[in-house]
Structure 1
Amino acid sequence: MDDERVLFHAFRAGASGLYRIDVTTRAVEQLEYGPSLRSGLSVDRAGRYIVQSFSSLEAGDEISVFDRETGETRLVTSWNRALLEEHPPARWERFEVRRDEFTIEAWLLFPPDFDPAKRYPLVLAIHGGPNSFYGYGFDPTRELLATNGFLVVYANPRGSTSYGRRFAQQVRRDWGGQDYLDLMAVVDQVLERPYVDRERLGVWGYSYGGYMTAWIIGQTDRFKAAVCGAPAFDLESMYGTSDISHVFGELQWGGPPHAEREWYEAHSPSTFAHRARTPTLIVHGEADERCPIGQGEQMFVALVKAGCEVEFVRYPGGSHGVLWEGPSEHRHDFLTRILDWFRSHLGGPA
């Protein structure tokens, strides 16, 4: 902005904000904050207008402009308006769960034609990372499920970003520990509502969310269907095959396998997969370097040996981002499969 002040965009509590920092005093001033997720940053020569890509739970992906003089944000595109008028997005509600010293932020998505007199299946959606977050952005998978008769709950358990360094570091050397219990507490709170059918629960996650999905089905049989994407299933084998785990793994897991073998065993879903009984769909890109295809292969074999109903879908040439950046036919195939899997195992509103 000038020699002493810098404009920047940052995420806080699952949402985007614009901030200004004084490089001399280190004082930070919030210019704008709201229930959306944005990226990029382009400023006009006068420094009045700030342009960003914009995503919200109501609008999908658009372009927004923030006016520093008026303090107003407006959307200057409407690419998705006609579609969303014809096919309304999910309704939503934010809520909180208190565990120990931490407040866990969560969201519940409702079908557009939600009827509280009916009973609905519930799907828990788990983000990747673990140092990532969910929030106020439009997500095609969650929207697909919610607009087809499912309640969808998602949360930011300890380890998530956008809540400060200390909260994000809680997951180090505790994969499958308090993060898992945070998520179960979120589900338990939603189950107190009369329109949620506790006998028809599903779980879905990708990457670290895939790790947590694989972990969950080895810890409990409360979920009647699971969709597991690109999981970290066996942490010891992942340490030597992933493109980052020889560094990332030591940071998250406390050291290499030979130095932390008991920890690796205690926190790997592979250790508990023989107990799994939840019907599970595994999806994985064959060219995934982050969570290599071998992780999905190991999980598939373990669930077959456990007598669990399981299907394994492999996307040729698919990277770790295949469900978001891969060929359109792969993305369409995945969305069709996840909807069909939950429909066939959980049913619809009753």
Structure 2
Amino acid sequence: MSAPPTVFHDLDHYVAVPRLSGLALSPDGRRLVTTVATLNRKGTGYSSAVWEVDPTGERPAHRLTRSAKGETGAAFGAGGDLYFTSARPDPDAEEDEPRAALWLIPAHGGEARVVLGRPGGVDAVTCAPDADVVLVTAAVLPGAVDEEQDARLVAARKEAGVEAILHSGYPVRFWDHDLGPARPHVFVLEEGAAGPAEGEAEATDAEDEAPAPLPGTLDRTAPHRLRRLTGDLALPLHEPHPVLSPDGTFALLAVPVPMARAEQRSALVRIDVASGERHTLLDLEGTEVDSGPVSPDGTRAVVVTDRVTTPTDPPHPRLHLMDTTTGETTPLAPDWDAWPTPAAWTPDGSAVLALADQDGRRPVFRIEVATGEVTQLTHDDDAWSELVVDPEGRVAYGLRSSYLFPSEPARLDLETGEVTALPGPVERPAVPGRLEDVGTTAEDGTRVRGWLALPEGDAPAEGHPLLLWIHGGPLGSWNAWSWRWNPWILVAQGYAVLLPDPALSTGYGQDFIQRGWGAWGEAPYTDLMAITDAVVARDDVDASRTAAMGGSFGGYMANWVAGHTDRFRAIVTHASLWELEGFGPTTDAAFYWQREMTPQMSLANSPHRFVEQIVTPMLVIHGDKDYRVPIGEGLRLWYELLSRSGLPAGEDGSTVHRFLYFPAENHWILSPQHAKIWYAVVCAFLAEHVLGKEPRELPPVLGLTAPAEDAKG
């Protein structure tokens, strides 16, 4: 008897599975919250709610918030109040179009209420664990010196129907949205009615007077206002992430530093929260800087430094301990060949917990501050994230996932390494198969590995058809669950899905990245072919029925594969780079691209040069709002496939190539109704060309077939 179908056998069920993200722990360690996104009633988006998870694992998770607009960015204040942002309507205000506001659920319980609302909205909240200090990130129009002026300007643009943006610098886009005219700033939340006093100290009449010190305790029932901490920066901030000291007296913030000709890097500043005084702690030529957590006593912080890349030097992030007063640094674990992300200090200040990709996983590590000794704490096949430490220092909590299950909360014993799953808000979905760790040796002797997802049960006599799925980045790894790039939907269709980590992948050491830096068409390509060769040699895989697929860099590599081999029956390329010289100046961070490849490298590694060699049917997918890989790449690829590829068109001009275009989507296809279309078209394309089936009926909403007759009435 065959196994019952799973959610991966039905796209309607798949997109409806709740999705968990984020984790926050109260300062006393007694409360743990996360957010869960669920499909809205129309099936056209997701709405997030805050849920509480029992840290002891004894009680089931329960829901704290409920609204159609959803809630995000949950954070606990020092007294246990729970903050979050939401665009839900304020019952005490009259708003035609509610914007995201700062909300609060009191520590003692009760209804959520608005702490702060503003026409420009609120983006994020950061709280100090040991003091009642709250920072807010929000956008302000550059012509406004205070909140009152900003409100008037926001209203004027809205009433006039103006969306134009006049830029004076670079960049102007990021991933899927335009930058400006409003610019993100960091504010401190204070008691007091809104008005001109909300502006920066520099913009007030009393320029020489420092703002009043922060009160010891904020009255949550009183009116609140914002005081800006980030005025007069050389360049606008973008998605700022302030790191507060535990006592709330200062914040560390990475800020952009201008370089020559529309380039920038980052430096680290310290901001005194009470006075607003700001000074630079770490600004190193040729170096990017970002802050990790501040030590419990506030004297040190873990910082991550990385060199500004060049065509010969890839990123190489390093950990340092920094004196939070002087900015002096000392290396931390300098011999550790990993790309670590510092997550938290232990409460006694003796060690730092960090996460790092490793061999297709993302374990938790402990770094001794005194010696730099690194100890791996988790040894499962999981990728950990959102790590927080209990105030007593005995346990940590985090989200973990793998390609066997999506993110779920877990408790980690920091002494024994024991991992305990916590009762979470979402039940783990059953997957329709099994996962194996596979590998081979590349032509230069380097080990190359990946995951192979296989259907449950015995393989057919001819073996499973194989889909080679290439990850994006390219600096990344197939190590954590992805709702957008999920192999189990294809496994449910009978495919074996290979998820390899070729050169440029993280988690295998710096030399592994160096092998492919500035040479995308070399080691990354030969690594992919080598591990594909190893997998198709298995008895349970059919070497004659294979396809390749990828998105972003994976789409680039799919294009490169198409022009360099005819071994695959079909190729799917999503959000892909095609002509690198044209891509470079039009991507949202052109200066970064110029650091990676010289014009000669770009030409040598550009897939468009090999269009005449493409004889494999290709499905091209692109979203118009993709600013990382602009739509021009997809348009040129599509035109040149039809006009120049080695796969001739029919007498009537018809072609086996297809172009799936999403006018309103970005680098990723995020809307659930469009995600269903994406998977349906991909599965149909592969079924026709890899499995040799008759063309599958596509969703009627594409307008290509007549829908079933409406039976209503």
User: Is TM > 0.5 for Structure 1 vs Structure 2?
Assistant: yes
Whether the aligned pair in 1 keeps the contact of 2:406 and 2:428 (CA below 8 Å) is no
The structure whose RCO (Cα within 8 Å, separation 6+) is larger is 1
Which residue of the partner structure matches residue 272 of structure 1? 610
Which piece of structure 1 moves more, 194-203 or 282-291? 194-203
**Are 1:185 and 2:185 counterparts?**
no
**Are 1:319 and 2:657 counterparts?**
no
Which residue of the partner structure matches residue 588 of structure 2? 243
Whether the aligned pair in 2 keeps the contact of 1:63 and 1:75 (CA below 8 Å) is yes
Report the Cα distance in structure 2 between the residues aligned to 1:3 and 1:52, rounded to whole angstroms.
Answer: 20
Which residue of the partner structure matches residue 24 of structure 1? 370
The one-letter amino acid paired with 2:554 is G
Report the Cα distance in structure 2 between the residues aligned to 1:348 and 1:109, rounded to whole angstroms.
Answer: 22
Which residue of the partner structure matches residue 176 of structure 1? 521
1:47-72 residue CA offsets vs partner (Å, 9 max, x unmatched): 22222122123323321211224421
Report the Cα distance in structure 2 between the residues aligned to 1:234 and 1:194, rounded to whole angstroms.
Answer: 38
Distance 1:250 1:339, change over 3 A: same
The one-letter amino acid paired with 1:111 is P
Displacement of 1:78 after TM fit?
5.6
1:237-291 residue CA offsets vs partner (Å, 9 max, x unmatched): 00110012x23322322x3x3xx3xx32221110001221111111111111111
Displacement of 1:156 after TM fit?
0.8
Report the Cα distance in structure 2 between the residues aligned to 1:291 and 1:276, rounded to whole angstroms.
Answer: 21
1:216-246 residue CA offsets vs partner (Å, 9 max, x unmatched): 01111111111100011110000110012x2
Which residue of the partner structure matches residue 109 of structure 2? none
**Matching residue within 400, 409, 412 for 1:66:** 412
**Are 1:36 and 2:379 counterparts?**
no
Distance 1:71 1:22, change over 3 A: closer
The one-letter amino acid paired with 1:207 is S
The one-letter amino acid paired with 1:273 is V
Over aligned residues, Cα RMSD in angstroms? 2.0
TM alignment of 1:71-86, pairs within 5 A: 71-77=417-423, 81=427, 83-84=429-430
Whether the aligned pair in 1 keeps the contact of 2:357 and 2:477 (CA below 8 Å) is no
Count matched residues.
336
**Are 1:148 and 2:493 counterparts?**
yes
**Are 1:50 and 2:382 counterparts?**
no
**Are 1:297 and 2:635 counterparts?**
yes
Displacement of 1:339 after TM fit?
1.3
Report the Cα distance in structure 1 between the residues aligned to 2:403 and 2:476, rounded to whole angstroms.
Answer: 18
Which piece of structure 1 moves more, 216-225 or 13-22? 13-22
Report the Cα distance in structure 1 between the residues aligned to 2:433 and 2:539, rounded to whole angstroms.
Answer: 19
The one-letter amino acid paired with 1:175 is W
Displacement of 1:81 after TM fit?
4.2
Report the Cα distance in structure 2 between the residues aligned to 1:25 and 1:7, rounded to whole angstroms.
Answer: 14
Displacement of 1:79 after TM fit?
5.6
**Matching residue within 441, 445, 465 for 1:101:** 445
Which piece of structure 1 moves more, 151-160 or 188-197? 188-197
1:89-136 residue CA offsets vs partner (Å, 9 max, x unmatched): 321211221122311012211112342534221110000111111135
Give secondary structure in 1 for the equivalent of 2:594. Answer: helix
Displacement of 1:80 after TM fit?
5.7
Report the Cα distance in structure 1 between the residues aligned to 2:626 and 2:673, rounded to whole angstroms.
Answer: 17
Which residue of the partner structure matches residue 124 of structure 1? 468
The one-letter amino acid paired with 2:417 is G
**Matching residue within 552, 558, 561 for 1:207:** 552
TM alignment of 1:216-227, pairs within 5 A: 216-227=561-572
Displacement of 1:348 after TM fit?
8.0
Instruction: Give TM-score scaled by structure 1 length.
Output: 0.90
Report the Cα distance in structure 2 between the residues aligned to 1:133 and 1:21, rounded to whole angstroms.
Answer: 23
The one-letter amino acid paired with 1:182 is D
Report the Cα distance in structure 2 between the residues aligned to 1:330 and 1:217, rounded to whole angstroms.
Answer: 26
The one-letter amino acid paired with 2:472 is G
Which residue of the partner structure matches residue 8 of structure 1? 354
Unmatched 5+ stretches in structure 1: none
Report the Cα distance in structure 2 between the residues aligned to 1:218 and 1:16, rounded to whole angstroms.
Answer: 34
**Aligned residues with identical type, % of pairs:** 32
Which residue of the partner structure matches residue 224 of structure 2? none
Displacement of 1:158 after TM fit?
1.2
Give secondary structure in 1 for the equivalent of 2:436. Answer: strand
The one-letter amino acid paired with 1:331 is A
Distance 1:166 1:327, change over 3 A: same
Displacement of 1:33 after TM fit?
2.7
Distance 1:54 1:301, change over 3 A: same
Unmatched 5+ stretches in structure 2: 1-345, 649-654, 694-713
**Are 1:112 and 2:456 counterparts?**
yes
Instruction: Give TM-score scaled by structure 2 length.
Output: 0.45
Report the Cα distance in structure 1 between the residues aligned to 2:671 and 2:656, rounded to whole angstroms.
Answer: 28
**The structure with more radius of gyration:** 2
Report the Cα distance in structure 2 between the residues aligned to 1:109 and 1:80, rounded to whole angstroms.
Answer: 23
Report the Cα distance in structure 2 between the residues aligned to 1:33 and 1:195, rounded to whole angstroms.
Answer: 29
TM alignment of 1:333-348, pairs within 5 A: 333-347=677-691
Whether the aligned pair in 1 keeps the contact of 2:396 and 2:411 (CA below 8 Å) is yes
Which residue of the partner structure matches residue 252 of structure 1? 596
Displacement of 1:161 after TM fit?
0.7
Report the Cα distance in structure 2 between the residues aligned to 1:155 and 1:64, rounded to whole angstroms.
Answer: 27
Distance 1:168 1:335, change over 3 A: same
> Whose helix fraction is larger, Structure 1's or Structure 2's?
1
Report the Cα distance in structure 1 between the residues aligned to 2:401 and 2:562, rounded to whole angstroms.
Answer: 32
Displacement of 1:183 after TM fit?
0.4
Report the Cα distance in structure 2 between the residues aligned to 1:101 and 1:252, rounded to whole angstroms.
Answer: 25
Report the Cα distance in structure 2 between the residues aligned to 1:17 and 1:222, rounded to whole angstroms.
Answer: 36
Which piece of structure 1 moves more, 73-82 or 120-129? 73-82
